[in-house]
Structures are given as C-alpha cells and as structure tokens.
Amino acid sequence: MAPKCDIPDALITALRDARLVCILTGAGVSAESGVPTFRDAQEGLWAQYEPQDLATPEAFLADPALIWRWYRWRRQLVAGAEPNAGHLAIAELAKIVPQLTLITQNVDSLHQRAGSTGVIEFHGNLFDDRCFAEGTLTSGDDSLDVPTCPDCGGNLRPGVVWFGEAIPAAALDESCAAASDCDVFLSVGTSSLVYPAAGLADLARDNGATVVEINPLPTTHAADFDFTIAGNSGVVLPELIDSLAL
Ligand code: BV8
C-alpha cells in the first residue's frame, strides 16, 4: 500500500541508530481525539475568551468560579475522548528504540491512556486538584463551584501550570537533560510558541541531535529543524513506525 506521507530515509536511519529519542508533544497530537487545540477557536460560552487569558493565576483570583467552570468543561471533554493513532504510535515507538523520553505540554492524560509510561507532564495535569495557597496535591469536593482545601479551607485550583508560573523543577530538569542528551528530537503537534517548552528543540539541536517537526502547518521555527513532515500526527507517526519496521 502506498505510504500516506513521505518519511525521509535519512530520518529512519537516524532513528535506527539512535540511543535516546526525545519527543515533545503539544495540543495538535490530541486534535484527532476531538480535543480542541489552543489555536482552535473556543466553542460556545468559551468562544469569547482567549485560553491564555483564562489559564492565569490572575484570572483565577478575579473569578475562581468562572475558571473552574472552564476546567470542568475541559475535564468532561477530555474524559469523553480516546487516545488516537498518534498517541498509540508514540507508545509503540518506546518499545522499538533503546530509550525514549516523552515530554508533553498536554494536560489531558491521553498519552498515559495510550500506554506511554514515564510521561513528563511539563504543564501539569487537568485532573489534579491543588491548594491554591499551599500548592499541595489534594482532592476537592467536586459539587462545589470552587472546591476548598481540606487542610486550610482555601480555594483549590486545577493542577496545571498557568502562564506566569514556573514549570515544576523536576519536569524542567528531566526535560532539559533528555533534550541535551538525545540523538533524535521529535517536536509533534506544537506551535512552538510557549516557553520554556519551545526552547527544548533548540537545546537538542545545540547538543547535536537531529531535530524533526511533525505538524500539518509548518511553525515559525520550521526552518530550524533538520526535517519537517507536514501531516497529522495520527497519520505520520504510524507511518514512521511502519518505516522503522521495514
Ligand atoms: C513561565 C497548561 C516564568 C494550562 C499551558 C520567552 C519568550 C516569550 C514569552 C515567554 C518566554 N518565557 C516565558 C514566557 C511567557 C509564557 C509564554 O511562553 N507565553 C507565550 C504565549 C508567548 N510562558 C509562561 O508563562 C510559562 N511560565 O515562563 O514562568 C517563571 C519562571 C520562574 C518563576 C516564576 C515564573 C508557563 C507556560 C505554561 C502555560 N500553561 N498549559 C492549561 O492547559 O490550561 S500552555 C498551553 O498552551 C499548552 O500546554 C501548550 O503549551 C500551549 C499551546 O501550545 P500547543 O500545545 O503548541 O498548541 P497550539 O494550539 O498552540 O498549536 C497546536 C499545533 O498543532 C498547531 O501548530 C497546529 O498546526 C498543530 N496541529 C493541529 N492538528 C494537528 C497538529 N499537529 C499534528 N497533528 C494534528 N492532527
């Protein structure tokens, strides 16, 4: 059967010779599961808001009930979604190459549901609750508009990293180490606009890795990659696995 997209032979060779492969994913890898990306216009009641205006501590302080409604809407949406062929291919690739580090900007747990292990959640997880004041992981009473912390009684917030907030130190350290040490770095389904995540490909390139962008729409950084494959991750990644098996 004719390949659905063209995977350069030199990339297959680089993957076959790789000791460590590092993958960074963004919202695009979940698009084929029906989870809207940050670039996609928000639907319905949320259409009037820019995601990065809602995903801030300031927005939460200004109206915690509104922000909780947004995150509950996203939790329901993601809970109804299934991992797609792109997520499954990444879990498969981890069984083929000697070592694979998966870093995701996604907070939707779809990589883990596809069977990927040791996933670095660079921007946290949608389904975690944290005390806004203490930052401690806890579970809130979901019936309340704004669940409260069982310890201090303060508001709980979703366990994600908001704009203006630091990346969890362990996630940042592990990601920088993997990006600096990898032989092949795949940037999949991300617009490469949000930092410090978008800087990981630069770190990999500066340390001699082969860097690859997989995205139907080349990003503003496309020229900085050794290979750019214009296609949906749910099509390109399974094709990449098949090419490796040949
Ligand atoms: C921080 C969790 C400091 C929340 C998110 C340097 C330069 C400029 C700005 C900054 C900088 N350094 C820091 C900043 C500020 C800011 C930032 O980067 N702003 C941007 C907007 C300019 N960064 C921060 O605030 C970070 N924190 O810097 O803290 C600090 C340091 C120490 C101490 C205190 C503070 C924190 C950023 C994290 C924010 N949280 N998510 C939530 O989800 O609610 S970011 C969120 O948006 C996502 O996690 C993701 O990272 C980002 C969206 O980007 P993508 O995932 O790439 O998705 P997008 O929709 O943009 O694109 C989708 C792509 O997929 C497209 O290219 C499309 O073509 C493609 N696609 C579509 N379909 C498919 C596909 N690809 C493949 N297959 C398909 N089928």
Give the tens place of pLDDT for each residue, 130-177: 999 999 998 877 777 899 999 999 999 999 999 999 999 999 999 999
Return the pLDDT at 132: 96
Question: Model confidence at 91, in pLDDT bands (50, 70, 90)?
Answer: very high
User: CB under 8 Å, gap of 24 or more: what pairs does 216-219 form?
Assistant: 216/28, 219/190, 219/191, 219/192, 219/193
Q: What is the pLDDT of residue 144?
A: 77
Is there an atom of ligand 1 within 6 Å of 27 CB? yes
What is the Å distance from ligand 1's center to 37 Cα?
11
* Beta carbons of 201 and 192 less than 8 angstroms apart: yes
Rounded Cα distance between 85 and 88, Å, is 5
CB atoms within 10 A of CB 44: 7
Q: How far is the CA of 123 from the centre of ligand 1 (A)?
A: 9
Residue nearest to atom 33 of ligand 1 (CA): 166
Residue 161 has what pLDDT? Answer: 98
Is the CB of residue 39 below 6 angstroms from any atom belonging to ligand 1?
yes
pLDDT at residue 106 is higher than 70:
yes
Question: What's residue 44's pLDDT?
Answer: 66
To the query of whether residue 111 is one of the catalytic residues in this protein, the response is: no
The answer, yes or no, to whether any atom of ligand 1 lies below 6 A from the CB of 246, is no
* Percent of the chain predicted with pLDDT > 70: 96
Residue nearest to atom 7 of ligand 1 (CA): 195
* E-assigned strand segments in 38-147: 99-104, 120-121, 124-131, 137-138
Q: Ligand 1, from 35, 53, 111, 163: best to mutate by most atoms within 8 Å of Cβ?
A: 163
Nearest partner of 88 among 110, 57, 119, judged by Cα: 110
Contact, 31 vs 37, CB < 8 A? yes
CA-wise closest residue to 211 among 176, 186, 179: 186
Sign of the four-CA dihedral 39, 206, 168, 163: negative
Dist. CA 159–CA 138, nearest whole Å:
9
Is residue 28 packed enough to be buried (19+ CB in 10 Å), middle (13-18) or exposed (0-12)? buried
Predicted confidence (pLDDT) at residue 85 exceeds the cutoff of 90: yes
Tell how far the Cα of 104 is from the centroid of ligand 1, in angstroms: 11
Phi/psi for 70 (5° steps) reads -65, -45
Query: Is ligand 1 within 6 A of the CB of residue 227?
Result: no
Given ligand 1 and candidates 195, 228, 239, which is best to mutate, with the most ligand atoms within 8 Å of its CB? 195
pLDDT, residue 45, reads 66
Instruction: Please write the tens of the pLDDT for every residue from 4-31.
Output: 678 999 999 999 999 999 999 999 999 9
State the closest ligand 1 atom to the C-alpha of 27, by its place in the atom list counted from 1.
56
Q: What pTM, to 2 d.p., does this model score?
A: 0.96
